[in-house]
Chain A
Amino acid sequence: MIANYGYKDGSGEFYISIDTDKCTTCSEKGCLESCPGQIFEMMVDDWDDEVAAVKASERNKIKMTCAACKPTTGRPELLPCQAACKPRGITHSW
C-alpha cells in the first residue's frame, strides 16, 4: 500500500509517500534512525504487519521539518531517509 502523509496549502503540496509493502520485509528499518527530525515510527497496520508511518504529530509540519535536509542548492540525490531506506520505499513530493 502507498501511504501518503502530508498536506497541501497555499505554498504547495507536501507529501511523504511510504510503500508499506516494502516495510514488511525490511529488516534494517533505517528510516527510524536516519531522520534528524525523528518523524517516522513503526506501527502495526490493519493486516497485522509492522510498517513505517509518519507520526501523526508530524504530518502537518513536514515542510518545516524537512527543510533542514533540503537546501535550495546542492540538494543530495537521496535525502537521509531515502538513503537509509534500502528497499527504496520513501518518496517526497517536493
Chain B
Amino acid sequence: MSENQQKEYWRWKEYNWKNPEIPDWKGGLVTAGVDVGSTSSQAVICVDGQLYAYASMRTGSDSPSSALNAINWAMEGTGLTLQDINFTVGTGYGRVNVPFANKAVTEIACHARGANFMYGPSVRTLLDMGGQDCKAIHCDDKGKVTSFLMNDKCAAGTGRGMEVFANLLAVSIEDVGDMSFNVETEPDPVSSTCVVFAKTEATGLLRAGWSKEKVLAAYCSAMASRVVSLLERNGMELDFAITGGIAKNPGVVKRIEKLLGVQALTPKYDTQIAGALGGALFAKALVEKSAKVAK
C-alpha cells in the first residue's frame, strides 16, 4: 500500500475542550447533545445553557459506541459521569442509536438551535453542510426552524464529496480550502454534479496537467454553486451562517459568499459542534418544559 493510501487525508483532527470560565458543574443543570454523523461524532455538555465542554472525534464502526466514546471524551477531566447529566438529546444520522439519550431530535432543529447560540439571534438563513447531505434552513430569533430544504440525492456538495477529493488528491482536508486559492485564474467549476463522475473528471484534469490547486479550485467552485442554488430555492434572508465541517473550508465558504454577494457570520466556536450544541440546548428546554408541566 502506498503512503498516500495509508494516510487518511479526509479526517478532521480529533480534540476535546473544556470551558475555563465555568470552574464547576455541580449545582447546575447539566445537559448534553450527541451528534453522531456519518464520518464524525460530537458531544457537547452545557451547564445552565452555557457551553461547558465538548469533544469531536471520528465515527467508529457503530453509532452506540461512537456516541459513548464522544461523551466520555467530552466528560474527561470534568469529574462528570453519565449519571450526572440531567438530560441528553441524540441527533445526527445515528440519533436513534444513542443508548443513553433521553430523546432523539432531528439535526435540522439542532443545527438551527446551535447556530442561534454560536452566531447570535440574528441568524435567519443557515446552511448546514454535513457529511451526507446539505440543508438550507430558515430560523427565527429563538433558533426555531421556520422552513428547511434538504438535498441528499447525491454526495456532491456534501462533506463526503470533499473528503473523496481530499483523498484522491492526497491533500489533508484541513488544507483543501487554502490550497484552492493558489491559482492564477479561477478555473470553471467541474461540470459533473455527481461526485463519482466529478472524481473521474478530476483524474482526467490531473492527467491533462492541471495542478492539484486548480482541480481543488474547480471542485470547491462546483460545490459552492450547488449549495447556492439550494439556498436560493429556500430563499435568502440575512443574517447568513454556515455550520458543519465544510464551514471550516474557506475554499468553499468564500466562493459561496462571492456567488451570493453576502458574507457569512464568523463563528465563535468550531462549526462542527453546532448540531450537538443545539441538542444540549434542546435538552435544557425539554427539562424546563417538563418542570413547568409538573408544577
User: Which one, B23-31, B140-148, B200-208, B209-217, is touching chain A?
Assistant: B140-148
Cβ contact within 8 Å between B152 and A59: yes
Partner of B151, one of A1, A3, A7, A46: A7
Residue numbers in A under 8 Å from B282 (CB-CB): 46
Interface residue? B105 (CB, 8 A): yes
Q: A15 near B233 (CB under 8 angstroms)?
A: yes
Q: Are B147 and A60 in contact (CB under 8 A)?
A: no
| Chain B positions within 8 Å of A4 at CB level | 147-150, 233-234
A10 touches B193 (CB 8 A): yes
- Total cross-chain contacts (CB, 8 A): 39
Q: Which residues of A contact B230 (CB under 8 A)?
A: 8
Q: Which of B105, B145, B148, B153 meets A7, CB within 8 Å?
A: B153
Q: Are B152 and A1 in contact (CB under 8 A)?
A: no
Query: Cα distance A60–B105 when bound, in Å?
Result: 23
A4 to B147, CA, bound (A): 7
Residue A9, interface by CB 8 Å: yes
Total interface residues in chain B, CB < 8 Å: 18
The answer to whether residues A8 and B233 also contact, given A1-B147, A2-B146 and a CB cut-off of 8 A, is yes
Report the bound CA distance from A87 to B106 in whole Å.
Answer: 25
For the complex, give the distance between the alpha carbons of A45 and B282 in Å: 13
Contact of B233 among A9, A10, A13 (CB under 8 A): A13
Are B153's CB and A46's CB within 8 A?
no
- Kindly list chain B residues whose C-beta atoms are within 8 Å of the C-beta of A3: 147-148
Q: How far is the CB of B213 from chain A (nearest CB, A)?
A: 28
Q: Taking CB as reference atom, which chain A residue is nearest B234?
A: A4
B109 A46 Cβ-Cβ under 8 A: yes
Which A37-86 residues have C-beta < 8 A from chain B? 45-46, 59-60
Measured between beta carbons, the chain B residues less than 8 angstroms from A60 are: 152-153
Q: Report yes or no: A9 in contact with B149, Cβ–Cβ below 8 A.
A: no
A residues neighboring B (CB under 8 Å)? 1-5, 7-10, 13, 15, 45-46, 59-60, 93
* Minimum-distance CB pairs A-B, first 8: A2-B147, A4-B149, A7-B153, A46-B109, A60-B153, A46-B105, A1-B145, A7-B151
Seen from chain B, the residues whose Cβ lies within 8 Å of a Cβ on chain A are 105-106, 109, 145-153, 193, 229-230, 233-234, 282
